[in-house]
A and B are shown apart, each in its own frame.
Chain A
Amino acid sequence: MKQKQSWKPYLWLLPSILLISVFVIFPIVIVFRLSFSEISKSGVVGGFVGLKNYVEAVHLPAFGIVMKNTFWWVISVVGLSTLIGFIIALALNQKFRGRKIARSILIFPWATSLVIQASVWNYIIKYEYGSLNNTLLNLGVIREAINWRASYQIEFIWECACGIFVTIPFVAFCVLAGMQSIDESLYESATVDGAGFFSKLFRITLPLVMPSLTVSTVLNIIYVFNSFPIIFTMTKGAPANKTDTMITFLYMLSFYDRKKGPANALSVIGFLILCFCAGIYMLTMLRKEEDL
């Protein structure tokens, strides 16, 4: 009976496949084609040049530092937002007065456009007239205005912090949802057995929250890797690409430096890196879930 229906599922998938194919896969194909083509500075597409763009991209002086930044950007934003989000979810999972208000507040950063978030943070940490200095000075916490962006390393840390700030709610709510589905009786029997806070955390909470955390983490990695507005608004990668991640770098490369061929080659390289990471994830996850 099942075999007769074998074409039916595909009918159900068709609208989705069509939508993705046309509006995502087709542009991807174009990017692949462009990465092997000669492209003039103003964007006129020429003929096939083989791997020239790739070679050029890898040999860009900023390539190394950009890869390093991208690595730290993804690791720190995803890692810390997961950690902090988890801790916040633990706190919000307790019963206390004002819990509803606290949860509503936590949603704010999620519901705000990244461009807006980035502009606000950019204003907050301005040295000369920024809000952070204003608030701290007027509250008497500091004596003189502090240069919050004294070096590019510090600016990059701010950018990561902003990325973490906007990512936390997503993680916290995924974890919170996972925690709420855990049966109370599990904790109660553990308490009877004399388990402490941490043993309950590691024996019950973590394993049961894991599945929702893993999926959200993969989506997170993709979103964070591809995140553009924070860095572009706050530093534009200055000085000299030292705060660029791959996405902002290839945008600058394409539209400021006008090296459009290498920019497209870099896009493909980034795509391959993500594919590799997601591939590993899918292999491990799908093996676990044979009957998907």
Chain B
Amino acid sequence: MMQGNEKRTNCISLLLVFLGLGLALALMLLPLYSFKAGIYTKKSSNTFVGDEKYREVRAEVEEIAEEYRAKGHNVEISESVTERTNSKGETTSLVAFSIDESFHKSILSFANAGLPSSAALLVMLAAMGAALLAALAGTLPSITKNGRALTGGQAALRDLSCFASLAAMISVPVFVLMNNSLFWRKISLYAQDLLTEGKEELYAKLDGFLYGGSMGEEIGDALKHVSCEHSPLVWALLLCFAVSGIAAILLRYGSVKKKLLRVALYAFVIVVCVITLYPYYVMFITAFRSNAETLDMYFLHMLPTKWLWGNLGDIIKRGVPGFLFNSVLIAGGATLLALLCGIPAAYAMARMHFKAKKFFLGFVIMSQMFSPVVLIIGISQLMNVMHLNDNILGLIFVNAAFNQAFAIWLLRGTFVSIPVEMEQAAKIDGCGTVGSMVRVLLPMAAPGIVTTLIFVFINAWNEYTISTVLISTASKRPITVGITQFSSFNMIEWQYLFAASLLATVPVVVLFMCIEKHLTSGLTSGGVKG
């Protein structure tokens, strides 16, 4: 009975693989891509229907259309007239003529066109073939076997079938997007001479693909106004490959739910990572563009045409290393101070009993409720009185103070999570409260302390508003303020702004990645006991 069941599952799965791939092939043969080529267009302003200029242009256009018809093109002439009455009561008129030709292509016909999308299509076809053959070869010898009992070779073949289906699935959007970017954009950029590189070659290929090579020299005109539409049915290919893929998973594992969840998990994580990394990708590529390219309104190049590594050199000359050094001083000093003040306080909160505990907690949290932005005037007045204006030390104090709440909260949680017995043992051995704290508690609390350290460091590193006001000497500015010289409202030098941002971001990101492991464990002890 079991065997019969498995045989049936396998047969159905194999059939589904066939069905999915077969349907896909059928779709590829349908004329899903339609093209409309404006072989020739002519706009004539100040032209009225029926007047001399109109007749002149019209005759010209018809002549050209005849030429094309003679060559066997099925062309039509269309005209559109825009008439307006202007402020002086005069009528103006703009006449636009165009000679159009429409035709359809199947997906499969792209295969030997030599276009970028042809490669994607070939991958898709290869993957389909592999999926089919692997499924057959992996199943037919022992059609009754499911899942883990397979021999190594059969399992590998069935795995291959799964992955080949996945590859075919992925190549569908790649194929469509490549066509979109070529026919929606690239061609018109070539036509406007905004792009020139590789134009001849591409035009020759398109002539061969669209017109069978009959256009020759005139291909430039023919491609000026080509439009390309694809039927939504193209996306049904995805569905077909999904069917074959699921069937292949069924063949390999006997059930699909767990594997599909796995695929969904990977898909989700990949999407999250892509979105997260996108701003950094932007920062990176923009940092090495030329200024003109950062403002490219025709979106000509996805990546810099020339990587200007010299941008880094330019910003270094404009004082960025000094700003970074100041930031390190400020953030480092603030972190140290915040910990020096925070550790005893957190210790008292965790280990001692006293009446005003809740009051102190309220006091600390309340101290966080004013944004530094709001307190600018007060802080700067304070700094004046203390003669800490335009002084990095002042920023260290302010940053440390504004991070007390966070530091105390995290550290207290860490201390609470460490059993008090250890310290008591140390006390019996003759250590005082301070001694037992330094020798026993702090080493054990290291992850929590590291976490706090990072938090305070990052917050201080990112502080902007107070530094703007307190620091007036250019050489004392931290990086967050330093980069504003590239982005004042009267001119933004995006490439320098992002190059400096890159320099400011990379060290912190590396630091964060190094302690990522400690981070979660530190937060565990700090957070859960809240």
Contact = CB atoms under 8 A, between A and B. Distances in A.
A177 B505 contact: no
A20 B301 CA distance: 52
Nearest to B369: A274
Nearest to B345: A16
B302 A134 contact: yes
Contact of A219 (B299, B368, B483): B368
A136 to B, nearest CB: 9
Given A102-B273, A113-B461, A212 B528 contact: yes
A79 interface: no
A215 interface: yes
Nearest to A218: B365
Contacts of A282: 358, 361-362, 365
Interface residues of B, number: 111
The 3 closest A-B pairs by CB, nearest first: A27-B378, A140-B180, A140-B181
Contacts of B273: 102, 105-106
B479 to A, nearest CB: 8
The listed residue with most B CB atoms (<10 A of its CB), out of A8, A19, A110, A219, is A19
A278 B505 CA distance: 33
B358 A292 contact: yes
A131 interface: yes
Given A6-B355, A110-B512, A212-B530, 12 more contacts: A19-B404, A91-B268, A124-B279, A140-B177, A140-B178, A145-B299, A208-B528, A247-B371, A275-B369, A282-B362, A286-B358, A292-B349
B214 interface: no
Given A113-B480, A226-B373, A108 B362 contact: no
B181 A215 contact: no
Question: Considering residues B176, B348, B362, which has the most beta carbons from chain A within 10 angstroms of its beta carbon?
Answer: B348
B279 A140 contact: no
Contact of B368 (A165, A178, A222): A222
Which of A6, A12, A135 has the largest count of B CB atoms less than 10 A from its CB?
Answer: A12
B358 A104 contact: no
Given A23-B401, A271-B369, A177 B185 contact: no
Nearest to A127: B297
Given A114-B462, A219-B405, A12 B374 contact: no
B64 interface: no
14 contacts: A5-B352, A10-B356, A17-B363, A27-B381, A31-B374, A43-B377, A96-B269, A108-B509, A112-B508, A113-B504, A123-B498, A211-B530, A215-B527, A228-B373
Interface in B342-390: 342, 344-345, 347-349, 352-358, 360-375, 377-379, 381-382
Contacts of A275: 366, 369
B315 interface: no
B284 to A, nearest CB: 10
A94 to B, nearest CB: 6
Q: Which of A9, A134, A141, A278 has the most CB of B within 10 A?
A: A9
A111 B180 contact: no
Contact of A212 (B279, B361, B527): B527
Given A12-B344, A129-B296, A214-B530, A219 B520 contact: no
Give the residue among B179, B294, B373 with the most A Cβ atoms within 10 A: B373
A123 to B, nearest CB: 6
Interface string B43-86: 00000000000000000000000000000000000000000000
B272 interface: yes
A28 B275 CA distance: 39
Contacts of B428: none
Nearest to B385: A26
Interface in B314-362: 337, 340-342, 344-345, 347-349, 352-358, 360-362
Contacts of B266: 96
Contact of A25 (B265, B302, B367, B512): B367
A274 B370 CA distance: 9
Interface of A: 2, 5-6, 8-10, 12-13, 15-20, 22-31, 34, 43, 88, 91-92, 94, 96, 98, 100, 102-117, 119-121, 123-124, 128-129, 131, 133-135, 137-141, 143, 145, 165, 173-174, 176-178, 180-181, 208, 211-212, 214-216, 218-219, 222, 225-229, 247, 250-251, 264, 267, 270-271, 274-275, 278, 282, 285-286, 289, 292
Contact of A27 (B278, B379, B409): B379
B527 A211 contact: yes
Interface string B499-513: 001001100110111
Interface centre among A115, A178, A228 (most CB of B within 10 A): A115
Interface of B: 176-182, 184-185, 262, 265-266, 268-269, 272-273, 275-280, 282-283, 286, 294-297, 299, 301-302, 337, 340-342, 344-345, 347-349, 352-358, 360-375, 377-379, 381-382, 397-398, 400-402, 404-406, 408-409, 458, 461-462, 464-465, 479-480, 483, 487, 494, 497-498, 501, 504-505, 508-509, 511-513, 516, 519-524, 526-530
Contacts of B366: 275, 278
A225 to B, nearest CB: 8
Given A9-B354, A138-B299, A267-B374, A111 B400 contact: no
Given A96-B266, A211-B527, A216-B527, A228 B371 contact: yes
B353 A2 contact: yes
B184 A111 contact: no
Contacts of A226: 369-374
B460 to A, nearest CB: 11
B331 to A, nearest CB: 11
Contacts of A228: 371, 373, 464-465
B262 to A, nearest CB: 8
B282 A131 contact: yes
